[in-house]
Structure 1
Amino acid sequence: MIMRRNAWLFAGYDLWVLGMESAAVMTMRGLKVAAGGAAAEAEMQRMVSEKVQAGLDLQAAALRGALGSTMPELVSKTTKHYRKRVRANHRRLTKA
C-alpha cells in the first residue's frame, strides 16, 4: 500500500519548526540587545533591514510565480524562504 503525502501535515510541521527556530533566534537577539552598546544598535538595525529585505524577496518570488500553484505549496515555499534566513541568523548568533 502506497501512502500519499499529506501536504498540509508537512506544511504544518515546517511552520512549527520555523516557530521553534525563530524563538531561539529572538532569544539570542534579545540578549544581545539587552547587553546594549554598539553591537546592540547594529543588531537592531540588522533586524529591521533583514525583515524588509525578506518581505521584498518573497513578494518578488510571488510575482514570478515561484511559490507554487496550490495553498500547501505556497505555505511550504514561504516557510522555506523564512527558515533559510532564520537558520543563517542562528548560525551567526551562535558563533558570536
Structure 2
Amino acid sequence: MTARTPSYADWAMLGLQTWMLGLEASAVIATRLHGFAWQTPGSDREATRMVSEKMTALMELQWRFMTGGMGSTPLAASQRTVQHYRRKVAANRRRLIA
C-alpha cells in the first residue's frame, strides 16, 4: 500500500478546519472575557482552569508527536493537531455557552 500525494483539496480543507478553530476559539474567548469583566461566580476558577487546560492540551499533543501518533506527513500532523485543539475548544464551548 502506498501513500497518496495530498491534493490541493486536502490542504484547502485543513485551511477551512483551521479557520473554524479560530472562530470557535473566539467564541470561547469572548465568553470567558465577559465572565471576567462582570466577575461572574466562578470566574476565578475559570481563569485557573483555562491555564491548566492549555498546558494539558499542549502536553498531550507533544506526547503524541514524540510517540509517532501524529502521522508521517506534514499534512497528517497538521490535520491531527487542528483536530486535537478543535475537540478541546468544542468541549469548552459546550461547557461555557450551554
TM-score above 0.5, yes or no: yes
What is the aligned counterpart of 2:46 among 7, 25, 43?
43
Cα distance between partner residues in 1 of 2:40 and 2:24 = 26
SS at match of 1:6: helix
The alpha-carbon deviation at position 49 of structure 1 amounts to: 0.2
Unaligned runs of 5+ in 1: none
The alpha-carbon deviation at position 6 of structure 1 amounts to: 2.2
What is the aligned counterpart of 1:78 among 77, 81, 88?
81
Pair 1:52-2:83 in alignment: no
Please identify which structure carries the higher helix content.
Answer: 1
Q: What is the one-letter code of the residue matched to 1:17? A: M
Unaligned runs of 5+ in 2: 1-6
What residue in structure 2 maps to residue 68 of structure 1? 71
Q: What is the one-letter code of the residue matched to 1:81? A: H
Tell me how many residue pairs correspond in the alignment: 92
Cα distance between partner residues in 2 of 1:8 and 1:37 = 41
What residue in structure 2 maps to residue 30 of structure 1? 33
CA displacement 1:11-67 (0-9 Å, x = unmatched): 111100000000000000111111226511101001100000000000011111111
After the TM superposition, list the runs of 4 or more consecutive aligned residues in structure 1 that deviate by more than 3 angstroms: none
How high is the sequence identity, in percent, across the aligned residues?
37
TM-score, normalised via structure 1 length: 0.89
What residue in structure 1 maps to residue 97 of structure 2? 94
SS at match of 1:52: helix
TM-score, normalised via structure 2 length: 0.87
Cα distance between partner residues in 2 of 1:66 and 1:7 = 19
Deviates more, 1:47-56 or 1:33-42: 33-42
